[in-house]
Amino acid sequence: GDSVTQMEGPVTLSEEAFLTINCTYTATGYPSLFWYVQYPGEGLQLLLKATKADDKGSNKGFEATYRKETTSFHLEKGSVQVSDSAVYFCALSNTGTASKLTFGTGTRLQVTL
Amino acid sequence: NAGVTQTPKFQVLKTGQSMTLQCAQDMNHNSMYWYRQDPGMGLRLIYYSASEGTTDKGEVPNGYNVSRLNKREFSLRLESAAPSQTSVYFCASSEQVGWDSPLHFGNGTRLTVT
């Protein structure tokens, strides 16, 4: 079945550091890929998405490129802020599993001054 | 601009008690979902409703029931709570069921079963 693997956290960075959170997936067909973010005490919010190979999703300075050859969708940001501290979830949705999002286990990011 | 509203925010139950988690959305979305979030396991789909009048099982439906009361509301019921159901529960909605329709989440209900 479909699955998503994320790097273990927590990830601790200083403000203005470069961020990479790795995400790889296993799926048949041509899934859509998502990054969701969860701030403390809140529900998940869509951060960005990509719906086909080589698409780049971007939002709020975050980017991720859909790489079909490496089945990856790594999240990057050039300069993190304290306000980026949150849990980040990689997810996929497959054309053959209407409605279901398959989530990774989440990666906690802590940004310090 | 409420989005998805869940009640209650917190709940403590004893084993065997029952309760209903409420969810309402004001975005005129067709599809609604219930997920549970457990440490180290990400989110897992319990039940979903593709449209008003329909419900389907997700990945972990055992011990739960749902009702799609109308287009806005989708409730989750635990008939006889068990400690294994201690979790954070999230309701979500989307314009439609489908691979390209992002989910909008509520802020969650933290449930503890003792």
Share the mean pLDDT of chain B. 92
Percent of chain B with pLDDT over 90: 80
Q: State how far the Cα of B80 lies from the Cα of A108, in Å rounded to an integer.
A: 33
Q: How far is A40 from chain B (nearest CA, A)?
A: 10
What confidence category does residue B71 fall into, taking pLDDT thresholds of 50, 70 and 90? very high
pLDDT at A98 over 90: no
Q: Is the pLDDT of residue A15 over 80?
A: yes
Q: Mean pLDDT across the stretch A67-93? A: 95
Average pLDDT value for residue range B93-107: 82
* Cβ within 8 Å of residue B1, ≥6 positions away: none
Answer whether A51 touches B (CB < 8 Å). yes
Cβ atoms A19, A13 nearer than 8 A: yes
Confidence at residue B41, expressed as pLDDT on a 0 to 100 scale: 82
Question: What tens digit of pLDDT does each residue of B2-44 get?
Answer: 799 999 999 999 999 999 999 999 999 999 999 999 988 889 9
Task: Measure in Å the smallest separation between the Cα of A93 and chain B Cα atoms.
Answer: 5
Output the pLDDT for position B75. Answer: 97
Residues 6+ apart with CB under 8 A from B4: A43, B23, B24, B25, B27, B91, B92, B93, B104, B105, B106
Asked if the model's pLDDT at residue A97 lies above 60, the reply is: no
Size of interface A-B (CB pairs under 8 A): 62
- Assign B98 a pLDDT band (cuts: 50, 70, 90): low
- Mean pLDDT on A37-60: 93
Mean pLDDT is highest, among A39-43, A91-95, B65-69, for B65-69
Q: Which residues of B touch A (CB under 8 A)?
A: 4, 31, 33, 40-45, 48, 50, 56, 58-59, 90, 92, 94, 97-100, 102-108
Measured distance CA(A82)–CA(A107) in Å, rounded? 16
